[in-house]
Structure 1
Amino acid sequence: MRAFTQLLILADGRFPSGGHAHSGGLEAAVHQRRVHNETDLEAFLRGRLRTAGLVGAAFAAAACARPSTMDELEAELDARTPSPAQRLAARRQGRSLIRAAQVVWPGEHVARAARTKVSQPIALGVVADAADVTPGEAALISAYHSISGPASAAVRLLGLDPYRVHGLLAALGNECDEVAREAAAFTRGPAADLPAASAPLLDISAEDHAAWEVRLFAS
Protein backbone atom coordinates (compact mmCIF):
# COMPACT_ATOMS: atom_id res chain seq x y z
CA MET A 1 0.00 0.00 0.00
CA ARG A 2 1.32 3.45 -0.88
CA ALA A 3 2.17 5.80 1.98
CA PHE A 4 -0.63 8.31 2.46
CA THR A 5 1.83 10.38 4.47
CA GLN A 6 3.04 11.75 1.12
CA LEU A 7 -0.46 13.03 0.38
CA LEU A 8 -0.76 14.58 3.83
CA ILE A 9 2.63 16.32 3.55
CA LEU A 10 1.78 17.83 0.17
CA ALA A 11 -1.67 18.96 1.32
CA ASP A 12 -0.33 20.46 4.57
CA GLY A 13 -0.45 24.25 4.55
CA ARG A 14 2.82 24.25 6.52
CA PHE A 15 4.70 22.63 3.63
CA PRO A 16 7.28 25.25 2.54
CA SER A 17 5.78 26.07 -0.83
CA GLY A 18 5.36 29.83 -0.36
CA GLY A 19 1.55 29.80 -0.32
CA HIS A 20 1.39 31.63 3.02
CA ALA A 21 2.69 34.78 1.30
CA HIS A 22 -0.26 34.95 -1.12
CA SER A 23 -3.89 35.86 -0.47
CA GLY A 24 -5.32 34.62 -3.78
CA GLY A 25 -6.67 38.08 -4.58
CA LEU A 26 -8.38 38.58 -1.23
CA GLU A 27 -6.18 41.48 -0.11
CA ALA A 28 -7.24 43.50 -3.15
CA ALA A 29 -10.89 42.51 -2.63
CA VAL A 30 -10.76 43.70 0.98
CA HIS A 31 -9.07 46.94 -0.04
CA GLN A 32 -11.75 47.53 -2.68
CA ARG A 33 -14.42 46.88 -0.02
CA ARG A 34 -15.88 43.91 -1.80
CA VAL A 35 -15.24 41.60 1.15
CA HIS A 36 -16.20 42.81 4.64
CA ASN A 37 -17.36 39.79 6.63
CA GLU A 38 -17.91 36.01 6.63
CA THR A 39 -20.80 36.21 4.19
CA ASP A 40 -18.71 38.14 1.69
CA LEU A 41 -15.79 35.77 2.25
CA GLU A 42 -17.97 32.75 1.50
CA ALA A 43 -19.09 34.29 -1.80
CA PHE A 44 -15.48 35.15 -2.68
CA LEU A 45 -14.24 31.64 -1.90
CA ARG A 46 -17.06 29.97 -3.81
CA GLY A 47 -16.43 32.16 -6.85
CA ARG A 48 -12.70 31.55 -6.72
CA LEU A 49 -13.18 27.80 -6.37
CA ARG A 50 -15.39 27.62 -9.46
CA THR A 51 -13.04 29.70 -11.62
CA ALA A 52 -9.34 29.86 -10.77
CA GLY A 53 -9.75 26.85 -8.49
CA LEU A 54 -11.21 24.66 -11.22
CA VAL A 55 -8.56 25.69 -13.75
CA GLY A 56 -5.70 25.17 -11.31
CA ALA A 57 -7.02 21.79 -10.19
CA ALA A 58 -7.41 20.59 -13.79
CA PHE A 59 -3.87 21.60 -14.70
CA ALA A 60 -2.48 20.04 -11.51
CA ALA A 61 -4.24 16.77 -12.32
CA ALA A 62 -3.04 16.84 -15.94
CA ALA A 63 0.57 17.55 -14.90
CA CYS A 64 0.40 14.70 -12.40
CA ALA A 65 -0.98 12.32 -15.05
CA ARG A 66 1.57 13.31 -17.70
CA PRO A 67 4.45 15.35 -16.20
CA SER A 68 6.50 15.01 -19.39
CA THR A 69 4.06 17.45 -21.08
CA MET A 70 4.70 20.25 -18.56
CA ASP A 71 5.88 22.67 -21.28
CA GLU A 72 2.67 22.25 -23.28
CA LEU A 73 0.58 22.55 -20.12
CA GLU A 74 2.45 25.69 -19.09
CA ALA A 75 1.71 27.30 -22.45
CA GLU A 76 -1.98 26.41 -22.17
CA LEU A 77 -2.14 27.78 -18.61
CA ASP A 78 -0.47 31.01 -19.73
CA ALA A 79 -3.17 31.39 -22.37
CA ARG A 80 -5.78 31.19 -19.60
CA THR A 81 -4.02 33.72 -17.35
CA PRO A 82 -4.29 37.18 -18.94
CA SER A 83 -2.87 39.03 -15.93
CA PRO A 84 0.95 39.33 -15.94
CA ALA A 85 0.83 39.82 -12.17
CA GLN A 86 -1.02 36.54 -11.71
CA ARG A 87 1.40 34.70 -14.00
CA LEU A 88 4.33 36.06 -12.00
CA ALA A 89 2.73 35.10 -8.67
CA ALA A 90 1.99 31.59 -9.95
CA ARG A 91 5.57 31.11 -11.12
CA ARG A 92 6.96 32.34 -7.81
CA GLN A 93 4.80 29.85 -5.94
CA GLY A 94 5.76 27.14 -8.40
CA ARG A 95 9.44 27.89 -7.84
CA SER A 96 9.01 27.63 -4.05
CA LEU A 97 7.14 24.33 -4.35
CA ILE A 98 9.72 22.82 -6.71
CA ARG A 99 12.54 24.00 -4.46
CA ALA A 100 11.02 22.08 -1.55
CA ALA A 101 10.33 19.05 -3.74
CA GLN A 102 13.96 18.87 -4.85
CA VAL A 103 14.79 18.00 -1.24
CA VAL A 104 11.71 15.93 -0.33
CA TRP A 105 10.90 14.10 -3.61
CA PRO A 106 13.83 14.59 -6.04
CA GLY A 107 13.45 13.14 -9.51
CA GLU A 108 13.80 13.72 -13.24
CA HIS A 109 10.56 15.66 -13.72
CA VAL A 110 11.08 17.75 -10.60
CA ALA A 111 14.56 18.71 -11.81
CA ARG A 112 13.19 19.63 -15.23
CA ALA A 113 10.42 21.72 -13.66
CA ALA A 114 13.08 23.62 -11.72
CA ARG A 115 14.88 24.46 -14.97
CA THR A 116 11.73 25.53 -16.85
CA LYS A 117 10.19 27.57 -13.97
CA VAL A 118 6.64 26.23 -14.17
CA SER A 119 3.59 27.81 -12.54
CA GLN A 120 2.14 26.57 -9.26
CA PRO A 121 -0.58 24.25 -10.65
CA ILE A 122 1.90 22.56 -13.00
CA ALA A 123 4.50 22.36 -10.23
CA LEU A 124 1.92 20.80 -7.91
CA GLY A 125 1.07 18.14 -10.47
CA VAL A 126 4.72 17.33 -11.16
CA VAL A 127 5.49 17.10 -7.45
CA ALA A 128 2.36 15.02 -6.83
CA ASP A 129 3.57 12.53 -9.43
CA ALA A 130 6.99 12.40 -7.76
CA ALA A 131 5.30 11.82 -4.40
CA ASP A 132 3.16 8.99 -5.81
CA VAL A 133 -0.04 10.99 -5.38
CA THR A 134 -2.81 10.30 -7.92
CA PRO A 135 -4.10 12.92 -10.39
CA GLY A 136 -7.44 12.98 -8.59
CA GLU A 137 -5.72 13.65 -5.29
CA ALA A 138 -3.58 16.37 -6.91
CA ALA A 139 -6.78 18.02 -8.14
CA LEU A 140 -8.27 17.87 -4.65
CA ILE A 141 -5.16 19.39 -3.07
CA SER A 142 -5.19 22.19 -5.65
CA ALA A 143 -8.90 22.90 -5.23
CA TYR A 144 -8.55 23.00 -1.46
CA HIS A 145 -5.53 25.29 -1.61
CA SER A 146 -7.47 27.68 -3.86
CA ILE A 147 -9.81 28.46 -0.96
CA SER A 148 -7.75 27.66 2.14
CA GLY A 149 -5.09 30.26 1.28
CA PRO A 150 -7.55 33.17 0.96
CA ALA A 151 -9.45 31.91 4.01
CA SER A 152 -6.29 32.02 6.09
CA ALA A 153 -5.50 35.48 4.74
CA ALA A 154 -8.98 36.66 5.77
CA VAL A 155 -8.15 36.04 9.42
CA ARG A 156 -5.24 38.47 9.14
CA LEU A 157 -6.87 41.00 6.83
CA LEU A 158 -10.29 41.21 8.47
CA GLY A 159 -9.64 39.89 11.96
CA LEU A 160 -12.22 37.13 11.52
CA ASP A 161 -12.62 34.33 14.04
CA PRO A 162 -10.33 31.50 12.80
CA TYR A 163 -12.72 28.86 14.16
CA ARG A 164 -15.60 30.25 12.13
CA VAL A 165 -13.41 30.61 9.04
CA HIS A 166 -12.45 26.94 9.25
CA GLY A 167 -16.10 26.12 9.76
CA LEU A 168 -16.73 27.90 6.47
CA LEU A 169 -14.05 25.82 4.77
CA ALA A 170 -15.67 22.65 6.11
CA ALA A 171 -19.05 23.80 4.79
CA LEU A 172 -17.50 24.18 1.33
CA GLY A 173 -16.02 20.68 1.49
CA ASN A 174 -18.57 18.95 -0.73
CA GLU A 175 -18.29 21.68 -3.35
CA CYS A 176 -14.49 21.45 -3.23
CA ASP A 177 -14.71 17.67 -3.77
CA GLU A 178 -17.08 18.23 -6.71
CA VAL A 179 -14.73 20.72 -8.36
CA ALA A 180 -11.80 18.33 -7.90
CA ARG A 181 -13.71 15.47 -9.54
CA GLU A 182 -14.71 17.71 -12.44
CA ALA A 183 -11.11 18.89 -12.83
CA ALA A 184 -9.65 15.37 -12.73
CA ALA A 185 -11.99 14.24 -15.51
CA PHE A 186 -10.12 16.51 -17.95
CA THR A 187 -6.93 14.44 -17.67
CA ARG A 188 -8.33 12.07 -20.28
CA GLY A 189 -8.37 14.72 -23.02
CA PRO A 190 -5.84 16.98 -24.78
CA ALA A 191 -4.32 19.96 -23.00
CA ALA A 192 -6.21 22.38 -25.23
CA ASP A 193 -9.49 21.06 -23.82
CA LEU A 194 -8.62 21.86 -20.20
CA PRO A 195 -11.08 24.33 -18.61
CA ALA A 196 -10.73 28.06 -19.11
CA ALA A 197 -13.12 29.38 -16.46
CA SER A 198 -12.41 33.09 -16.18
CA ALA A 199 -12.52 35.56 -13.29
CA PRO A 200 -11.91 38.98 -14.89
CA LEU A 201 -12.22 40.86 -11.62
CA LEU A 202 -9.43 38.75 -10.09
CA ASP A 203 -7.24 39.58 -13.10
CA ILE A 204 -7.94 43.31 -12.88
CA SER A 205 -7.47 43.37 -9.11
CA ALA A 206 -4.18 41.49 -9.41
CA GLU A 207 -2.76 44.20 -11.66
CA ASP A 208 -3.91 46.91 -9.27
CA HIS A 209 -2.50 45.05 -6.26
CA ALA A 210 0.89 44.56 -7.92
CA ALA A 211 1.28 48.35 -8.20
CA TRP A 212 0.83 49.00 -4.48
CA GLU A 213 3.92 50.27 -2.68
CA VAL A 214 2.83 48.67 0.62
CA ARG A 215 0.95 45.38 0.89
CA LEU A 216 0.72 42.52 3.34
CA PHE A 217 0.66 39.71 0.73
CA ALA A 218 2.58 39.18 -2.50
CA SER A 219 -0.67 38.62 -4.41
Structure 2
Amino acid sequence: MSRAALLVLADGRFPAGGHAHSGGAEAAVRAGRITQAADLEGFCRGRLHTAGRVAAALAAAAALGHDPAALDAAADARTPSPALRAAARKLGRQLLRAARATWPAPELDALAHAFPRGAHQPVVLGLTARAAGLAAADAAYCAAYESVSGPATATVRLLSLDPFDATGVLARLAPELDQVVEQAVAGARRAAAEGVDALPAASAPLLEIGAEAHAAWPVRLFAS
Protein backbone atom coordinates (compact mmCIF):
# COMPACT_ATOMS: atom_id res chain seq x y z
CA MET A 1 0.00 0.00 0.00
CA SER A 2 1.26 3.46 -0.92
CA ARG A 3 0.28 6.13 1.59
CA ALA A 4 1.07 8.67 -1.12
CA ALA A 5 -1.93 7.33 -3.06
CA LEU A 6 -4.14 8.37 -0.14
CA LEU A 7 -2.75 11.90 -0.39
CA VAL A 8 -3.53 12.01 -4.11
CA LEU A 9 -7.10 10.74 -3.60
CA ALA A 10 -7.83 13.05 -0.67
CA ASP A 11 -6.31 16.13 -2.30
CA GLY A 12 -8.94 18.76 -2.99
CA ARG A 13 -7.29 19.36 -6.36
CA PHE A 14 -7.98 15.79 -7.51
CA PRO A 15 -10.32 16.36 -10.50
CA ALA A 16 -13.39 14.66 -9.03
CA GLY A 17 -15.76 17.63 -9.26
CA GLY A 18 -16.22 18.25 -5.54
CA HIS A 19 -15.34 21.94 -5.85
CA ALA A 20 -18.71 22.55 -7.53
CA HIS A 21 -20.71 21.21 -4.57
CA SER A 22 -21.28 22.77 -1.15
CA GLY A 23 -22.57 19.73 0.73
CA GLY A 24 -25.69 21.62 1.75
CA ALA A 25 -23.82 24.69 3.00
CA GLU A 26 -25.25 27.05 0.37
CA ALA A 27 -28.83 26.22 1.39
CA ALA A 28 -27.90 26.50 5.07
CA VAL A 29 -26.32 29.92 4.51
CA ARG A 30 -29.40 31.16 2.63
CA ALA A 31 -31.63 29.88 5.47
CA GLY A 32 -29.52 31.69 8.07
CA ARG A 33 -28.32 28.51 9.75
CA ILE A 34 -24.67 29.33 8.98
CA THR A 35 -23.56 32.91 9.60
CA GLN A 36 -20.18 32.47 11.30
CA ALA A 37 -17.50 29.91 12.16
CA ALA A 38 -19.38 28.58 15.20
CA ASP A 39 -22.42 27.83 13.03
CA LEU A 40 -20.21 26.15 10.45
CA GLU A 41 -18.74 23.91 13.14
CA GLY A 42 -22.19 22.80 14.27
CA PHE A 43 -23.29 22.20 10.69
CA CYS A 44 -20.19 20.16 9.87
CA ARG A 45 -20.46 18.16 13.09
CA GLY A 46 -24.04 17.21 12.26
CA ARG A 47 -23.13 16.35 8.69
CA LEU A 48 -20.16 14.24 9.78
CA HIS A 49 -22.21 12.08 12.13
CA THR A 50 -25.03 11.53 9.63
CA ALA A 51 -24.30 11.81 5.91
CA GLY A 52 -20.56 11.54 6.55
CA ARG A 53 -20.87 8.36 8.56
CA VAL A 54 -23.09 6.75 5.93
CA ALA A 55 -20.73 7.74 3.11
CA ALA A 56 -17.70 6.50 5.03
CA ALA A 57 -19.32 3.09 5.64
CA LEU A 58 -20.33 2.72 2.00
CA ALA A 59 -16.82 3.64 0.85
CA ALA A 60 -15.24 1.21 3.32
CA ALA A 61 -17.57 -1.58 2.23
CA ALA A 62 -16.71 -0.98 -1.43
CA ALA A 63 -13.00 -1.00 -0.59
CA LEU A 64 -13.50 -4.35 1.15
CA GLY A 65 -14.93 -5.82 -2.04
CA HIS A 66 -18.68 -5.81 -1.37
CA ASP A 67 -20.98 -5.99 -4.40
CA PRO A 68 -21.08 -2.46 -5.88
CA ALA A 69 -24.64 -2.89 -7.18
CA ALA A 70 -25.90 -3.82 -3.71
CA LEU A 71 -24.01 -0.90 -2.19
CA ASP A 72 -25.40 1.49 -4.77
CA ALA A 73 -28.93 0.33 -3.97
CA ALA A 74 -28.18 0.79 -0.27
CA ALA A 75 -26.97 4.33 -0.97
CA ASP A 76 -30.19 5.07 -2.85
CA ALA A 77 -32.25 3.80 0.10
CA ARG A 78 -30.31 6.07 2.46
CA THR A 79 -30.78 9.16 0.27
CA PRO A 80 -34.46 10.19 0.20
CA SER A 81 -33.84 13.44 -1.71
CA PRO A 82 -33.90 13.03 -5.52
CA ALA A 83 -31.66 16.11 -5.77
CA LEU A 84 -29.03 14.54 -3.51
CA ARG A 85 -29.23 11.22 -5.36
CA ALA A 86 -28.64 13.05 -8.65
CA ALA A 87 -25.71 14.98 -7.16
CA ALA A 88 -24.16 11.81 -5.73
CA ARG A 89 -24.33 10.07 -9.11
CA LYS A 90 -22.93 13.09 -10.93
CA LEU A 91 -20.02 13.21 -8.49
CA GLY A 92 -19.58 9.45 -8.83
CA ARG A 93 -19.39 9.71 -12.60
CA GLN A 94 -16.77 12.45 -12.44
CA LEU A 95 -14.73 10.61 -9.79
CA LEU A 96 -14.83 7.40 -11.82
CA ARG A 97 -13.54 9.24 -14.87
CA ALA A 98 -10.61 10.61 -12.88
CA ALA A 99 -9.98 7.29 -11.14
CA ARG A 100 -9.83 5.27 -14.35
CA ALA A 101 -7.23 7.67 -15.73
CA THR A 102 -5.20 7.60 -12.50
CA TRP A 103 -5.45 3.97 -11.34
CA PRO A 104 -6.68 1.85 -14.27
CA ALA A 105 -8.36 -1.33 -13.02
CA PRO A 106 -10.88 -3.89 -14.36
CA GLU A 107 -13.18 -3.21 -11.38
CA LEU A 108 -13.44 0.45 -12.30
CA ASP A 109 -14.13 -0.42 -15.95
CA ALA A 110 -16.85 -2.85 -14.87
CA LEU A 111 -18.43 -0.18 -12.65
CA ALA A 112 -18.46 2.32 -15.51
CA HIS A 113 -20.17 -0.27 -17.73
CA ALA A 114 -22.75 -1.18 -15.07
CA PHE A 115 -23.55 2.46 -14.20
CA PRO A 116 -23.18 4.57 -17.36
CA ARG A 117 -25.01 7.47 -15.67
CA GLY A 118 -22.88 7.21 -12.54
CA ALA A 119 -22.89 5.19 -9.32
CA HIS A 120 -23.16 6.88 -5.93
CA GLN A 121 -19.95 8.74 -5.15
CA PRO A 122 -19.03 6.85 -1.92
CA VAL A 123 -19.27 3.54 -3.78
CA VAL A 124 -16.99 4.83 -6.51
CA LEU A 125 -14.66 6.26 -3.87
CA GLY A 126 -14.31 2.88 -2.17
CA LEU A 127 -13.56 1.07 -5.42
CA THR A 128 -11.09 3.80 -6.34
CA ALA A 129 -9.29 3.33 -3.04
CA ARG A 130 -9.23 -0.41 -3.68
CA ALA A 131 -7.74 0.14 -7.14
CA ALA A 132 -5.12 2.43 -5.61
CA GLY A 133 -4.11 -0.27 -3.12
CA LEU A 134 -5.59 1.51 -0.11
CA ALA A 135 -7.38 0.00 2.87
CA ALA A 136 -11.03 0.29 3.91
CA ALA A 137 -10.12 2.79 6.62
CA ASP A 138 -8.39 4.99 4.04
CA ALA A 139 -11.54 5.05 1.92
CA ALA A 140 -13.61 5.86 5.00
CA TYR A 141 -11.28 8.71 5.95
CA CYS A 142 -11.57 10.22 2.46
CA ALA A 143 -15.37 10.06 2.56
CA ALA A 144 -15.68 11.39 6.10
CA TYR A 145 -13.24 14.23 5.48
CA GLU A 146 -14.99 15.20 2.24
CA SER A 147 -18.27 15.44 4.15
CA VAL A 148 -16.93 18.34 6.20
CA SER A 149 -14.18 19.88 4.08
CA GLY A 150 -16.57 20.57 1.20
CA PRO A 151 -19.00 22.66 3.29
CA ALA A 152 -16.09 24.41 5.03
CA THR A 153 -14.50 25.45 1.75
CA ALA A 154 -17.85 26.49 0.30
CA THR A 155 -18.67 28.64 3.32
CA VAL A 156 -15.41 30.56 2.91
CA ARG A 157 -16.65 31.56 -0.55
CA LEU A 158 -20.29 32.11 0.41
CA LEU A 159 -19.68 34.26 3.49
CA SER A 160 -16.14 35.51 2.88
CA LEU A 161 -15.36 33.59 6.07
CA ASP A 162 -11.76 33.75 7.24
CA PRO A 163 -10.15 30.55 5.82
CA PHE A 164 -8.14 30.24 9.04
CA ASP A 165 -11.41 29.96 10.97
CA ALA A 166 -12.74 27.33 8.55
CA THR A 167 -9.55 25.30 8.85
CA GLY A 168 -9.78 25.57 12.63
CA VAL A 169 -13.25 24.01 12.45
CA LEU A 170 -11.85 21.02 10.55
CA ALA A 171 -9.00 20.62 13.02
CA ARG A 172 -11.36 20.63 16.00
CA LEU A 173 -13.50 17.97 14.34
CA ALA A 174 -10.53 15.64 13.77
CA PRO A 175 -11.08 13.46 16.89
CA GLU A 176 -14.73 12.99 15.95
CA LEU A 177 -13.73 12.14 12.40
CA ASP A 178 -11.52 9.37 13.79
CA GLN A 179 -14.51 8.04 15.73
CA VAL A 180 -16.80 8.13 12.71
CA VAL A 181 -14.26 6.26 10.59
CA GLU A 182 -13.88 3.57 13.25
CA GLN A 183 -17.66 3.12 13.37
CA ALA A 184 -17.93 3.11 9.60
CA VAL A 185 -15.29 0.42 9.09
CA ALA A 186 -16.88 -1.72 11.80
CA GLY A 187 -20.24 -1.39 10.06
CA ALA A 188 -18.69 -2.28 6.71
CA ARG A 189 -17.16 -5.43 8.19
CA ARG A 190 -20.49 -6.44 9.75
CA ALA A 191 -22.11 -6.02 6.36
CA ALA A 192 -19.86 -8.79 5.04
CA ALA A 193 -21.75 -11.28 7.21
CA GLU A 194 -25.14 -9.62 7.61
CA GLY A 195 -25.65 -7.82 4.29
CA VAL A 196 -25.97 -4.13 3.46
CA ASP A 197 -28.72 -3.61 6.04
CA ALA A 198 -25.94 -3.67 8.65
CA LEU A 199 -24.53 -0.43 7.23
CA PRO A 200 -25.44 2.76 9.12
CA ALA A 201 -28.50 4.67 7.96
CA ALA A 202 -28.18 7.93 9.90
CA SER A 203 -30.49 10.62 8.55
CA ALA A 204 -30.21 14.40 8.25
CA PRO A 205 -33.68 15.70 7.29
CA LEU A 206 -32.60 19.34 7.00
CA LEU A 207 -29.94 18.38 4.47
CA GLU A 208 -32.56 16.56 2.41
CA ILE A 209 -35.08 19.43 2.62
CA GLY A 210 -32.41 22.02 1.88
CA ALA A 211 -31.22 20.06 -1.15
CA GLU A 212 -34.69 20.00 -2.67
CA ALA A 213 -35.15 23.74 -2.13
CA HIS A 214 -31.65 24.45 -3.47
CA ALA A 215 -32.29 22.45 -6.66
CA ALA A 216 -35.19 24.77 -7.52
CA TRP A 217 -33.23 28.02 -7.21
CA PRO A 218 -32.85 29.84 -10.54
CA VAL A 219 -29.44 31.22 -9.51
CA ARG A 220 -26.93 29.46 -7.26
CA LEU A 221 -23.18 29.35 -6.82
CA PHE A 222 -22.89 25.60 -6.22
CA ALA A 223 -24.48 22.58 -7.90
CA SER A 224 -25.68 21.18 -4.57
How many Å apart are 1:163 and its aligned residue? 1.1
Distance 1:76 1:173 in 2: 27
SS in 1 for 2:169: helix
Q: Which residue of 2 aligns with 1:196?
A: 201
Matches within 5 A, 1:139-154: 139-154=140-155
Q: Which residue of 1 aligns with 2:11?
A: 12
CA-to-partner distance for each residue in 1:127-155, whole Å, 9 max, x for gaps?
00000110011101110110000000010
Q: Letter of the aligned partner of 1:209 in structure 2?
A: H
How many Å apart are 1:192 and its aligned residue? 1.4
Q: Letter of the aligned partner of 1:37 in structure 2?
A: Q
Q: Letter of the aligned partner of 1:200 in structure 2?
A: P
CA-to-partner distance for each residue in 1:51-72, whole Å, 9 max, x for gaps?
00000000000011015x0000
Q: Which residue of 2 aligns with 1:163?
A: 164
Matches within 5 A, 1:6-45: 6-45=5-44
State how many pairs are aligned: 217
TM-score scaled to structure 1, two decimals?
Answer: 0.97
Q: Letter of the aligned partner of 2:123 in structure 1?
A: I
TM-score scaled to structure 2, two decimals?
Answer: 0.95
How many Å apart are 1:43 and its aligned residue? 0.4
Distance 1:131 1:188 in 2: 20
How many Å apart are 1:112 and its aligned residue? 1.7
Q: Which residue of 2 aligns with 1:172?
A: 173
Q: Letter of the aligned partner of 1:203 in structure 2?
A: E
Matches within 5 A, 1:1-219: 2-67=1-66, 69-115=67-113, 116=115, 117-189=118-190, 190-219=195-224
SS in 2 for 1:96: helix
How many Å apart are 1:109 and its aligned residue? 1.1
Q: Letter of the aligned partner of 2:76 in structure 1?
A: D
How many Å apart are 1:24 and its aligned residue? 0.2
How many Å apart are 1:4 and its aligned residue? 1.3
Distance 2:209 2:169 in 1: 26
Distance 2:112 2:156 in 1: 32
SS in 2 for 1:209: helix
Distance 1:167 1:61 in 2: 27
103-112 vs 56-65, which moves further = 103-112
SS in 1 for 2:23: coil
How many Å apart are 1:205 and its aligned residue? 0.7
Identical residues among aligned pairs (%): 55
CA-to-partner distance for each residue in 1:150-169, whole Å, 9 max, x for gaps?
00001000111101211111
Q: Letter of the aligned partner of 1:204 in structure 2?
A: I
Q: Runs ≥4 in structure 1, deviation > 3 angstroms? A: none
SS in 1 for 2:186: helix
Q: Letter of the aligned partner of 1:161 in structure 2?
A: D
Q: Letter of the aligned partner of 1:7 in structure 2?
A: L
